[in-house]
Amino acid sequence: MHPNALLELATELLHRVLQFQQPADAVVSAFFREHKGLGGRERATLAETTYAVLRQRALFQHLAQSGRGEMERRLAILGWQGNEGFLRAAMNEAEQQWLQQVGAVDRAALPEKLRHNLPDWLAERLQSALGDDFWPFVEAMSRPAPLDLRVNTLKAKREEAQQALREAGIAAEPTPFSPIGLRVQGKPALHKLEVFTSGAVEVQDEGSQLLALLTDPKRGEMVVDFCAGAGGKTLALGALMRNTGRLYAFDSSGHRLAALKPRLARSGLSNVYPVQIAHERDDRVKRLAGKIDRVLVDAPCSGLGTLRRNPDLKWRQSPAAIDELVAKQAAILANAARLVKSGGRLVYATCSLLDAENEAVAAAFEASVGADFVRVPAADALAAAHVARADELVHENHLRLWPHRHQTDGFFAAVWNRR
C-alpha cells in the first residue's frame, strides 16, 4: 500500500473514533470489516495509532493546533505507531518541518492537564485518591497492557501451558499473584495455536482471575455469575468447581451471552447454564432466592480500570454517567444478595478506579443489610485461594488493584459471608 494511502486511512479512522458515539474497539473492528484487503501489519499500525491518539488526545490536540491541514491527519502523524520511513514518505515538506518543530517542544514544561491527558473531573478524583502515586499511575496508563492468559486447569497445568507456548515461540511468565495465570509480552496471534483452540488457555487479565479466585467456589456447589458478560469469569469459576455442581451465567444481554458460547465449547465445561434475564428483579432470579452457595456480582461500571486497553473511556464517561451507574450498582447488589443462602458468599466487584463505584457502594450495602452479611477480609479470602502476596492487593479489607502497582487492570472487590 502507498504510504499516503495508509496515512489517509488512519485519518479517516480517527475521524470516526473521535466522534465518541461508540466504543473505539467497535469502530476499529467495523472499519477493518469495510477494508478487508488490509494486511496484518497495516491493521496493527492503524489500531495502535488510534489508541496512541486516544491515550494522549489532550496533548496531541494542543500540539496539532500549530499545523495546517485536517486535524485528524495531524493527530495521526503525532500518534503514528508504524514504520517511520513509511510516515516520512507520506508527509509533504511542510508537514515534515512542522513535525520537527513539535518534536522540539519540552513536554515536561507543559501544563499538568496536557501531561496527564485526563478530563478535569477524573484527574481531580484520581489525584485525591492517589496522592504522590498519581504520576506513576499516569505513566502506567500511557502504555498498552500486557496480554494475560488463564490456564484452564481442567485441561492443563500452568507449566504445561507455558511449555506449549514456548514451543510455539511465545515466551510466557507466571503471573505474580494468580496461581493459574501466564503473562505474555506483545500481541502474538494466539487464536490459531493448539494450546488456545484446545481450550487449555483463555485470554483473561490477572485481576479478573483474582475475582474468580476470591469467590472460591467448591465442587458440587450452586454458583451464580450475576453479570456474566462474555463469560471470562464464568469459565474461571467453572474450572475452579472442577466442572461439577451448577453454575448460572446471568446477563441482560443475549448478544454478550452468545459470545460466551464458543468459549464455553472450547473450555470443556458442562456445568454452565447461560440465562438471559430482563433485569436484576427477573422471576428467574427470584426463584433461586436463598439457594445459592456463591454469588459473584461483577457490576456494570465506568470501566476506568481498563484505560490501558480502552483509552476512549476517559473521554466518553462523565460525572452524571457515574451517578447513574452507582444507582444501578446498588440495585443489582441488593437483588443479587437475596440469592445467597445462609453461610454462603457474596462478592461485589467492578473494573472501576473510583471510590463512588467501589467502597461507597459496598459501605451503603453493609449499612442496608445490617448484621445479615459479615465482611470477609479480602487478604484472608485470597490467601485461602492460594493467591501469592495477598497482603499487597488489599486496601481497607477490600481487594484494590491498580495498573501501576500490580500490573493488572484496575479492579475492586468486597467479600461477605451471609450469617
For residue range 316-325, what is the model confidence (pLDDT) as tens digits?
Answer: 999 999 999 9
The pLDDT tens digits for 182-207 are 999 888 989 999 999 999 999 999 99
pLDDT of residue 59: 97
Look-up of cell digits 444507582: 327
Check if the beta carbon of residue 351 is closer than 8 Å to that of residue 411: yes
Look-up of cell digits 492460594: 386
User: Nearest 5°: phi and psi at 245?
Assistant: 65, -160
Q: How far apart are CA 413 and CA 382, in angstroms?
A: 11
- Candidate list 17, 269, 301, 351, residue with the active-site label: 351
Check if the beta carbon of residue 301 is closer than 8 Å to that of residue 327: no
| pLDDT by residue, tens only, the chain of 419 residues | 888 999 999 999 999 999 999 999 999 999 999 999 999 999 999 999 999 999 999 999 999 998 888 999 999 999 999 999 999 999 999 999 999 999 999 999 999 999 999 999 999 999 999 999 999 999 999 988 999 999 999 999 999 999 999 999 999 999 999 999 999 988 898 999 999 999 999 999 999 999 999 999 999 999 999 999 989 999 999 999 999 999 999 999 999 999 999 999 999 999 999 999 999 999 999 999 999 999 999 999 999 999 999 999 999 999 999 999 999 999 999 999 999 999 999 999 999 999 999 999 999 999 999 999 999 999 999 999 999 999 999 999 999 999 999 999 999 999 999 99
pLDDT of residue 332: 97
Query: CB count, 10 Å around CB of 401?
Result: 27
At 82, list the grid cell: 508504524
Question: Sign of the C-alpha dihedral, residues 274, 277, 279, 285?
Answer: negative
**Global confidence as pTM:** 0.95
pLDDT of residue 67: 83
In the residue annotation, 301 being an active-site residue is answered as no
Q: How far apart are CA 127 and CA 104, in angstroms?
A: 29
Task: Give, as one character, the DSSP assignment of residue 316.
Answer: H
pLDDT of residue 69: 87
**Which residues touch 40 (CB under 8 Å, ≥6 apart)?**
none
